[in-house]
């Protein structure tokens, strides 16, 4: 039975385009510039995430794709056609709302069938699609239940099914997991990935949770203060952050300063403030010279005996996190540096570093990445 | 062809505001036509001369306003203060004020009692306060009339207890009007007081006791100041309708304890002096608006917000 | 259960509260009891009887006035609630716009102006119109009642609307519902309890009105309250108690319904 349902859905996706083009989008609320000149291309059949802190404009951007807000400037394209001025009910795009916005006076099935009913589809078709959808989100037999009596996770599934039922070209998800507890959130992340793969619909997902973005997305746009700071795959964004904001916002990072001595392809040799000479990756869009900032992820560095690594310092706090341990090192030039080590039972207790002792920090040439600002 | 979303957005906004005006038009028209608008006619009439058999003559005259405060002797034309009017206006203000005070004295403990019940029973007690509020005022006035007449339950009980030997004449006195108004308007005091008290943070009361306040000290220095907006709201809600009361003095005051409302009615009935009635009406509205203005400014200062 | 020091207790407050509740209901209770008196007195009990209810039922004036009251209240409630619903839709869930405060003040104005003054104003206006048009039917009373019922109907509808999440209407629009479909399938069903509450409130307010009716009515247009007001000047028999009792029961039924409607706004079954 699982196969049958998968077939129905994927047959429908054959005709799907579902590319979104955002061209020079600006949105002002009074004197507040919510979105400041965003240009983005979202591909067909992609799990695309808008990631950023609250107030960065990601939800406003989503609402402009849905049609709840109109851009002050710029154009929204769906499969090449300008939809900037269309009303929400005229756009083949559906939304999963942050608070689900389920209709409390309708049953589960009536909620899911709402869109098709509004489109004037015959009752038999609505019934069939609703049944498909109930299966897809594992709510078989719950069609007659009032939505107000469902748990948070079940309401989430109804909201998903409701938005998917009319087979939109693009599904917009506005922080849909933020109201769920951690465990449920994890399982819904997997569920969402599965639904995206099975339906082949373009998902545009808004979140402020970087971990959620990294685990689920094909591509991520990191936003801040109404602008897109970097677009790329999870790995690109994590390993090669374009600027200080992205590096700081995604994961934990050590910032070091240095001076570029020479560049060679996309790599540069530079002298650190601590005196050591290393090579590091250059950002994709710029070739900075002179004084630069570079980042090294804590897990890409390791502790060694003093003098044996790239830099030396004094070991400060040691913070135990269960799966790993953070070592805070005060480098000799005065900057703080964090090294993350995975914990293991077999770990040799003998060479465990101790607070206050001199210690060295080592990292490979690939670990360092130069920022464009 | 480029789509100008900004222009579409502005157009949509204009349309929305236009729709909102269209939607509110019937209600606004109804109220302006049959409630608020006619007040302008009253103002106009207060400056016209009285007709011989009611209504007015279409001639400008300040006689109506003149008569509010002064009276001219029919025989020799001498002018003196209109004692009859003054005594009625004074009685209205006095009775409305005492009614407000009585409602506060009885209403505050009642509201406090309800607010300190468990949330579940609270709504039941509240419901008990609301029922009389929604029953016909005339019937409630009638009920009071029955209770205090010579052979009514109050006199009967007092005589049975041997406290009095002959029935007390209570009906058609100021006392009867006062009793009736307090009875009828009490819920109007209890409801806003309750709304304030319900929001009262009792941890503050706890803090008061912790800092050695007595029960009375906690009441006067913590509870009362915190619910002041409710006290002001309740007082206004009682004072305004009490001042312009018409049914209660008519039923319980008979012809003896008139209030402004009855005085106005007289000018349109037996008195046949419409301009005077109109002038009295305008004066009453002005007083009421002043009281409401005082209320708005008062709650504005204290932050307000603690009443429903 | 032992009750230690209760921070909420104030000495004497419970007693005063109980006294208040007792006094609130005592006159009404007495009034109802004497409606069943067999004798002609409204103060001396002479045994139980339904005679005054029968007498009221056979009193053509009472029946006529009651019908008129119900007709006016029903018409005014429907008109006022329709206007109030539209007005509530126009004045809630929006960023402030020019004219919004104006609308609020106009809608609430009938609550602020003393009833006796509105009554006088309408007397003057309608007496002119009656002369000009020659029409002196119930229309004037219905119009006047509709107007002062609007703010009462508006209150629960507005409260209900403001508690309604605008995201539901957005969701409907997102799911291809046109503005009218959104109203028909989402806004209206969710607003319905508020509209019903407004309707009942307006009905009771109209039914209870004495002052405005007394001034606006033409000859022979007594409603039940104005009929009763006229009767109170004479010697009163328990027939008045009987009429009042029926009236009370009707109001009580409506208010109880209103209470439950406005108390559990979210808990409705599909």
Secondary structure of chain B in the HEC alphabet? CCCCHHHHHHHHHHHHHHHHHHHHHHHHHHHHHHHHCHHHHHHHHCCEEECECECEEEEECCHHHHHHHEEECCCCCCEEECHHHHHHHHHHHHHHHHHHHHHHHHHHHHHHHHHCCCHHHHHHHHHHHHHHHHCCHHHHHHHHHHHHCCCCHHHHHHHHCCCCCCCCCCCCCHHHHHHHHHHHHHHHHHHHHHHHHHCCCHHHHHHHHHCCCCHHHHHHHHHHHHCHHHHHHHHHHHHHHHHCCCHHHHHHCCCCCCCHHHHHHHHHCCCCCHHHHHHHHHHHHHHHHHHHHHHHHHHHHCCCCCCC
Residue C55 lies in a domain: no
- Which of A345-349, A363-367, B104-108 tops mean pLDDT? B104-108
Residues C76 and C216: their CA atoms lie apart, in Å, by: 15
The DSSP call for residue C137 is S
Residue C199 lies in a domain: yes
pLDDT value of residue A5: 41
Inform me whether the C-beta atom of residue C166 falls under 8 Å from chain A C-beta atoms: no
Assign residue B105 the CATH number of its domain.
1.10.3720.10
Task: Return the bridge partners of A339, or none.
Answer: A327
**For B210-249, how does the pLDDT look when each residue is reduced to its tens digit (9 = 90+)?**
888 888 888 888 888 888 888 988 998 899 999 999 999 9
Closest-CA distance, A90 to chain B, in angstroms, reads 14
Residue B130 lies in a domain: yes
Closest-CA distance, B148 to chain C, in angstroms, reads 9
Give C-chain residues touching B145 at CB under 8 angstroms. Answer: 232
Residue B276 lies in a domain: yes
Task: Name the domain boundary from B50, B79, B108.
Answer: B79
The position carrying tokens 């005006």 is: B21
Residue C232 lies in a domain: yes
CB B248 within 8 A of CB B177: yes
Contact C240 B142 (CB under 8 A): yes
B61 lies in the same domain as B144: no
Inform me whether the C-beta atom of residue B4 falls under 8 Å from chain A C-beta atoms: yes
Task: Name the domain boundary from B79, B106, B141.
Answer: B79
Which structure tokens are listed for A254?
A: 């050590």
pLDDT > 50? residue A4: no
Closest-CA distance, C86 to chain A, in angstroms, reads 21
> C-alpha distances in angstroms, A113 versus A122, A350, B192?
11, 65, 45
**For C155-200, how does the pLDDT look when each residue is reduced to its tens digit (9 = 90+)?**
999 999 998 888 999 999 999 999 999 999 999 999 999 999 999 9
pLDDT value of residue B2: 61
B27 lies in the same domain as B165: no
Which structure tokens are listed for C211?
A: 């002052």
The CB density around residue A43, as the number of other CB atoms within 10 Å, is: 12
**For A141-167, how does the pLDDT look when each residue is reduced to its tens digit (9 = 90+)?**
999 999 998 998 899 999 999 999 999
Residue B182 lies in a domain: yes
B73 lies in the same domain as B111: no
Q: CA-nearest residue of chain A to B4?
A: A85
pLDDT value of residue B300: 55
B203 lies in the same domain as B232: yes
If you count residue pairs, one on A and one on C, with CB atoms under 8 Å apart, how many are there? 70
Give A-chain residues touching C178 at CB under 8 angstroms. Answer: 89, 118
B139 lies in the same domain as B218: yes
Residue B71 lies in a domain: yes
Inform me whether the C-beta atom of residue A23 falls under 8 Å from chain B C-beta atoms: no
Residue B306 lies in a domain: no
What subunits touch chain A, counting only 3 or more CB pairs under 8 A?
A: B, C
pLDDT > 80? residue C15: yes
Residues C205 and C148: their CA atoms lie apart, in Å, by: 9
pLDDT value of residue B303: 40
Residues A27 and A33: their CA atoms lie apart, in Å, by: 6
pLDDT value of residue A13: 43
Contacts of residue A186, Cβ cutoff 8 Å, sequence gap at least 6: none
Question: Shortest CA distance to A83 belongs to which of A95, A72, A75, A73?
Answer: A75
Which one of A97, A115, A162 has the shortest CB-CB distance to C167? A97
CB A311 within 8 A of CB A274: yes
Closest-CA distance, C174 to chain A, in angstroms, reads 5
Q: Name the residue range of residue C255's domain.
A: 61-263
B191 lies in the same domain as B228: yes
B67 lies in the same domain as B164: no
**For A180-232, how does the pLDDT look when each residue is reduced to its tens digit (9 = 90+)?**
888 888 989 998 999 999 899 999 999 999 999 999 999 999 999 999 999 99
Inform me whether the C-beta atom of residue A70 falls under 8 Å from chain B C-beta atoms: yes
Residue C9 lies in a domain: no
Inform me whether the C-beta atom of residue B14 falls under 8 Å from chain A C-beta atoms: no
pLDDT > 70? residue A349: no
**For C56-68, how does the pLDDT look when each residue is reduced to its tens digit (9 = 90+)?**
999 999 999 999 9
Contact B107 C124 (CB under 8 A): no
- ipTM score above 0.95: no
Residues C106 and B193: their CA atoms lie apart, in Å, by: 26
Which structure tokens are listed for C55?
A: 């007498």
Residue C47 lies in a domain: no
B114 lies in the same domain as B173: yes
Inform me whether the C-beta atom of residue B273 falls under 8 Å from chain C C-beta atoms: no
B30 lies in the same domain as B149: no
Give A-chain residues touching B4 at CB under 8 angstroms. Answer: 85
Give B-chain residues touching A76 at CB under 8 angstroms. Answer: 5
Residue B307 lies in a domain: no
pLDDT band at C269 (very low <50, low <70, confident <90, very high): very low
Question: Shortest CA distance to B226 belongs to which of B97, B101, B115, B99?
Answer: B115
pLDDT value of residue B299: 66
Contact B109 C143 (CB under 8 A): no
Give A-chain residues touching C168 at CB under 8 angstroms. Answer: 101, 103-104
pLDDT band at C148 (very low <50, low <70, confident <90, very high): very high
Query: Residue range C138-155: average pLDDT?
Result: 95
Which segments in chain B show pLDDT lower than 50?
A: 1, 301-308
Residues A7 and C38: their CA atoms lie apart, in Å, by: 83
**For B37-47, how does the pLDDT look when each residue is reduced to its tens digit (9 = 90+)?**
999 999 999 99
Residues A257 and A271: their CA atoms lie apart, in Å, by: 9
When divided into structural domains, chain B yields a total of 2
B34 lies in the same domain as B166: no
Contacts of residue B179, Cβ cutoff 8 Å, sequence gap at least 6: B144, B148, B170, B252
Inform me whether the C-beta atom of residue A30 falls under 8 Å from chain C C-beta atoms: no
pLDDT value of residue A7: 39
Question: Shortest CA distance to A161 belongs to which of A186, A191, A184, A206?
Answer: A191
**For A73-121, how does the pLDDT look when each residue is reduced to its tens digit (9 = 90+)?**
999 999 999 998 899 999 999 999 998 999 999 999 999 999 999 999 9
CB B70 within 8 A of CB B285: no
**For C36-45, how does the pLDDT look when each residue is reduced to its tens digit (9 = 90+)?**
999 887 777 8
Residue C237 lies in a domain: yes
> Mean pLDDT, chain A, as a whole number?
88
Query: Residue range C134-160: average pLDDT?
Result: 94
3-state SS, one letter per residue, for chain A? CHHHHHHHHHHHHCCCCCCEEEEEEEEEECCEEEEEEEEEEECCCCEEEEECCCCCCHHHHHHHHHCCCCCCEEEEEECCEECCCCCHHHCCEEEECCCCCCCCCCEHHHHHHHHHHHCCCCHHHHHHHHHHHHHHCCCCCCCCCEHHHCCHHHHHHHHHHHHHCCCCCEEEEECCCCCCCHHHHHHHHHHHHHHHHHHCCEEEEEECCHHHHHHHCCEEEEEECCEEEEEECHHHHHHCCCCHHHHHHCCCCEEEEEEEEEEECCEEEEEECCCCEEEEECCCCCCCCCEEEEEECHHHEEEECCCCCCEEEEEEEEEECCCEEEEEEEECCCCEEEEEEECCCCCCCCCCCCCCCEEEEEECHHHCEECCC
Residues B209 and B227: their CA atoms lie apart, in Å, by: 18
pLDDT value of residue B308: 31
Mutate one of A29, A65, A88 to test the C interface: name it (highest C CB count within 10 A). A88
Inform me whether the C-beta atom of residue B127 falls under 8 Å from chain C C-beta atoms: yes
pLDDT band at C264 (very low <50, low <70, confident <90, very high): low
When divided into structural domains, chain C yields a total of 1
Contact B3 A70 (CB under 8 A): no
Exposed e or buried b per residue across C17-54, where buried means at least 16 C-beta atoms within 10 angstroms of its C-beta: beebbeebeebbebbbebbbbebeebbeeeeeeebbbe
B230 lies in the same domain as B272: yes
Assign residue C93 the CATH number of its domain.
1.10.3720.10
Residue C22 lies in a domain: no
CB C187 within 8 A of CB C174: no
What subunits touch chain C, counting only 3 or more CB pairs under 8 A?
A: A, B
Contact A82 B3 (CB under 8 A): yes
Burial of A352 (0-12, 13-18, 19+ CB in 10 A): exposed
Q: Name the residue range of residue B250's domain.
A: 84-301
B149 lies in the same domain as B227: yes
Which structure tokens are listed for A242?
A: 């374009």
Residue B256 lies in a domain: yes
3-state helix, strand, coil in chain C (%, to 5): 75, 0, 25
Ramachandran quadrant class, A339 (left: phi over 0; alpha: psi -120 to 50; beta: rest)? beta
Residue C167 lies in a domain: yes
Counting residues of chain A whose pLDDT is more than 70, the rounded percentage is 94
Q: What pTM did the predictor assign?
A: 0.84
Domains of chain A, each with CATH number or no CATH: 2-239 (3.40.50.300), 252-370 (2.40.50.140)
pLDDT band at A346 (very low <50, low <70, confident <90, very high): low
pLDDT value of residue B306: 35
Supply φ then ψ for residue B227, to 5 degrees.
-105, 20
């Amino acid at each position: 039975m699982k196969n049958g349902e998968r077939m129905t859905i994927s047959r429908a996706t054959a005709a799907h385009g579902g590319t979104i083009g955002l061209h020079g989008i600006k949105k002002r609320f009074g004197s507040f510039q919510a979105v400041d000149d965003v240009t983005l291309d979202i591909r067909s059949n992609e799990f695309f995430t808008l990631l950023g802190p609250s107030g960065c404009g990601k939800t406003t951007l989503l609402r402009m794709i849905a049609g709840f807000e109109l851009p002050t400037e710029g154009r929204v394209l769906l499969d090449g056609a300008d939809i900037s001025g269309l009303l929400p009910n005229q756009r083949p795009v559906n939304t999963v709302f942050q608070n689900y916005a389920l209709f409390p006076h309708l049953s589960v099935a009536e909620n899911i069938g709402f869109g098709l009913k509004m489109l004037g589809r015959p009752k038999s078709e609505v019934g069939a699609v609703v049944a498909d959808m109930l299966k897809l989100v594992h709510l078989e037999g719950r069609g007659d239940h009032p939505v107000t009596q469902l748990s948070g996770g079940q309401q989430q599934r109804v909201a998903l099914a409701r938005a998917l039922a009319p087979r939109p070209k693009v599904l917009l998800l506005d922080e849909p997991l933020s109201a769920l507890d951690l465990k449920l959130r994890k399982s819904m992340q997997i569920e969402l990935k599965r639904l995206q793969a099975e339906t082949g619909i373009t998902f545009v997902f808004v979140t402020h949770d970087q971990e959620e973005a990294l685990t689920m997305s094909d591509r991520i746009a990191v936003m801040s203060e109404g602008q897109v700071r970097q677009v790329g795959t999870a790995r690109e964004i994590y390993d090669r952050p374009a600027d200080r904001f992205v590096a700081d916002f995604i994961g934990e990072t050590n910032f070091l300063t240095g001076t570029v001595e020479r560049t060679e392809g996309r790599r540069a040799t530079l002298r650190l403030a601590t005196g050591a000479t290393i090579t590091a990756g250059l950002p994709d869009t710029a070739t900075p010279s002179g004084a630069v900032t570079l980042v090294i992820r804590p897990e890409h560095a390791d502790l060694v005996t003093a003098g044996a690594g790239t830099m030396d310092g004094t070991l400060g706090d040691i913070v135990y996190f269960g799966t790993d341990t953070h070592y805070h090192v005060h480098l000799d030039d005065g900057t703080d540096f964090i090294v993350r080590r995975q914990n293991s039972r077999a770990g040799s207790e003998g060479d465990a570093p101790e607070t206050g002792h001199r210690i060295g920090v080592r990292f490979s040439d690939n670990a360092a990445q130069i920022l464009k600002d | 062809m480029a789509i100008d979303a900004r222009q579409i957005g502005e157009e949509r906004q204009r349309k929305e505001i236009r729709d909102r005006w269209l939607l509110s038009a019937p209600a606004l028209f109804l109220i302006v036509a049959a409630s608020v608008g006619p007040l302008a006619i009253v103002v106009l009439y207060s400056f016209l001369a009285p007709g011989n058999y009611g209504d007015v003559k279409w001639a400008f005259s300040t006689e109506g306003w003149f008569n509010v405060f002064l009276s001219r002797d029919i025989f020799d034309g001498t002018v003196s203060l209109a004692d009859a009017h003054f005594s009625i206006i004074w009685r209205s203000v006095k009775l409305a004020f005492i009614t407000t005070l009585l409602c506060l004295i009885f209403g505050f403990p009642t509201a406090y009692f309800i607010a300190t019940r468990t949330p579940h029973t609270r709504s039941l007690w509240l419901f008990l306060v609301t029922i009389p509020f929604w029953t016909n005022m005339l019937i409630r006035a009638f009920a009071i009339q029955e209770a205090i007449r010579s052979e009514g339950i109050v006199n009967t009980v007092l005589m049975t207890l041997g406290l009095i030997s002959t029935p007390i004449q209570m009906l058609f006195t100021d006392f009867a009007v006062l009793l009736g108004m307090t009875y009828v308007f009490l819920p109007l005091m209890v409801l806003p007081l309750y709304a304030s008290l319900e929001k009262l943070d009792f941890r503050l009361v706890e803090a008061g006791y912790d800092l050695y306040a007595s029960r009375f000290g906690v009441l006067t220095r913590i509870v009362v100041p915190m619910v002041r907006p409710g006290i002001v709201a309740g007082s206004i809600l009682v004072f305004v309708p009490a001042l312009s009361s018409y049914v209660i003095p008519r039923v319980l005051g008979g012809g003896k304890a008139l209030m402004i409302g009855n005085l106005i009615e007289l000018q349109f009935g037996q008195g046949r002096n419409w301009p005077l009635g109109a002038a009295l009406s305008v004066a009453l509205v002005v007083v009421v608006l002043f009281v409401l203005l005082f209320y708005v400014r008062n709650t504005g200062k204290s932050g307000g917000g603690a009443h429903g | 259960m032992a009750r230690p020091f209760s921070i909420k207790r104030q000495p004497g407050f419970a007693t005063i509260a109980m006294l208040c509740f007792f006094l609130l209901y005592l006159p009404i209770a007495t009034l109802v009891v004497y409606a069943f008196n067999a004798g002609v007195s409204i103060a001396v009990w002479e045994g139980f009887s339904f005679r005054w209810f029968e007498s009221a039922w056979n009193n053509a004036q009472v029946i006529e006035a009651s019908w008129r009251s119900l007709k006016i209240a029903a018409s005014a409630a429907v008109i006022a609630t329709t206007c109030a619903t539209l007005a509530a839709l126009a004045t809630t869930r929006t960023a402030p716009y020019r004219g919004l405060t104006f609308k609020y003040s106009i809608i609430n104005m009938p609550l602020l102006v003393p009833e006796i003054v509105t009554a006088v104003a309408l007397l003057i206006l309608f007496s002119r119109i009656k002369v000009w048009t020659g029409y002196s039917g119930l229309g004037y009373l219905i119009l006047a009642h509709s107007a002062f019922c609007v703010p009462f109907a508006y209150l629960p509808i507005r409260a209900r609307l403001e508690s309604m999440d605008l995201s539901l209407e957005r969701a409907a629009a997102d799911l291809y519902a046109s503005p009218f479909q959104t109203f028909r399938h989402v806004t209206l069903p969710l607003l319905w309890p508020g509209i019903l509450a407004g309707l009942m409130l307006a009905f009771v307010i109209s039914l209870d009105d004495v002052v405005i009716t007394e001034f606006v009515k033409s000859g022979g247009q007594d409603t039940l309250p104005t009929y009763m007001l006229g009767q109170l000047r004479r010697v009163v028999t328990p027939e008045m108690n009987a009429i009042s009792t029926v009236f009370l029961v009707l109001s009580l039924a409506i208010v109880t319904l209103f209470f439950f409607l406005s108390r559990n706004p979210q808990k409705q079954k599909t």
